[in-house]
Structure 1
């Protein structure tokens, strides 16, 4: 039997790298994107482009209007400004309450229906913004919940959560993606959600830093001048 994977695909750099890794490992791809009323809904169009590039078997877009309704995050509440002052040790206002918990639960349901053995998610515990649902302990807990709370799990066909980027720096992620031919030109990472990336929000800062440290030039445009390495391609 072919092996199948559900890839949680936002259209950003990390999830697209996960898509490339899953494709390279020979999985039949089932892409799952979430429309949760995020400020940067432009990423949904990016996800469509990426799913088409990788010829995903299916690309489902799941709506989670409730996250927009309750707010509590700069990504779902337009009254909360997206921070542009750089990263700190505190959990930032761009944290969306329980987002990855919900994403993984719905991905598990989709994986059961499609008889997929794996879920790929691009969480990262190094170059990240301090989100609690990107940490190893959270992934371990969700893995156990899926094992105990799904028909596949209790019948001995567990769905494995794959987190290939978990312990990589952003530069390592980008180098891996470049080797795999990941189409970064199709992606977007900016929290502001404009046609051109702002270059100053936390997500843009992490992405730019990653490309700079990887010695590469980001193929997407930015609204501010960026100093790329002299050797960048």
Structure 2
């Protein structure tokens, strides 16, 4: 959102309540939307708990301890999550008459999710160009923007700091407690990014292991 605002765009953020274990992130999203004074913050409910298959949507699957050097896809992967999210976003963009959809996927310091790769975004863009009246009939391209795609977590922290992003309202932990656990994949990658950037992470942790 900070990047989109820096480009001069009006922003219409979307958050998703997909019955995720860490639904506390939605409270942070509301604070961020308020911080930027958006006209409307849309929260869409889509029950991915019914599908299951992920430690983030199935209470029977434990969130594993983080491994920043992991190469396999971890159990925190939510099947087709970004495919579903982007589909909603494209529909909303058509209704708004928007020409850009921003998504914060990252393929450098991440947990190996297939729907964070540039190949996925390229394929989805090609499909999206045929999927809406705006694009297929009116010829009004809706471009998917991925400003964080090729940045390390360090570079993301530095960019956010430069743009004044409200990191104090963000929530990254997979376990969803009031304090971030500090040991899941997401926490460890975040903590390492802040440490390498030389910036103090403003949120509370149960433990800070870099």
Q: Which TM-score applies when normalising by structure 2?
A: 0.97
Tell me how far apart the structure 1 counterparts of residues 118 and 77 of structure 2 sit (CA, whole Å). 17
Q: Deviations over 1:162-220 (max 9, x none)?
A: 00000000000000000001000011100000000000000000000000010111000
Q: Which residue of 2 aligns with 1:180?
A: 163
- Structure 2 match to 1:43: 25
Distance 1:79 1:52 in 2: 35
Match of 1:139, SS?
Answer: helix
- TM-superposed CA distance for 1:226, in Å, is 5.1
Alignment partner of 2:196 out of 213, 216, 223: 213
User: How many residues align structurally?
Assistant: 208
1:83 is aligned to 64
**Cα distance between partner residues in 1 of 2:112 and 2:55:** 15
Q: Secondary structure at the match of 1:70?
A: coil
Which of 50, 56, 59 is residue 41 of structure 2 equivalent to?
A: 59
Match of 1:74 among 43, 46, 55: 55
Residue in structure 2 matched with residue 148 of structure 1 by the alignment? 130
* Partners of 2:114 and 2:51 in 1: CA distance: 19
Note the alpha carbon deviations across 1:137-171, whole angstroms, 9 max, x for none.
10001111111111111121010000000000000
CA distance in 2, matches of 1:170, 1:85: 15
Distance 1:226 1:68 in 2: 30
Deviation (angstroms), 1:225: 4.1
Report the Cα distance in structure 1 between the residues aligned to 2:208 and 2:86, rounded to whole angstroms. Answer: 37
Question: Aligned-pair distance for 1:129?
Answer: 0.4
Partner Cα distance (1:225, 1:48) in 2? 26
Report the aligned-residue RMSD. Answer: 0.9
* Unpaired stretches in structure 2, ≥5 consecutive residues: none
Matched ranges for 1:73-222 at <5 A: 73-87=54-68, 88-154=70-136, 155-222=138-205
Question: Aligned equivalents of 1:59 and 1:31: distance in 2?
Answer: 5
Q: Unmatched 5+ residue regions in structure 1?
A: 1-18, 228-233
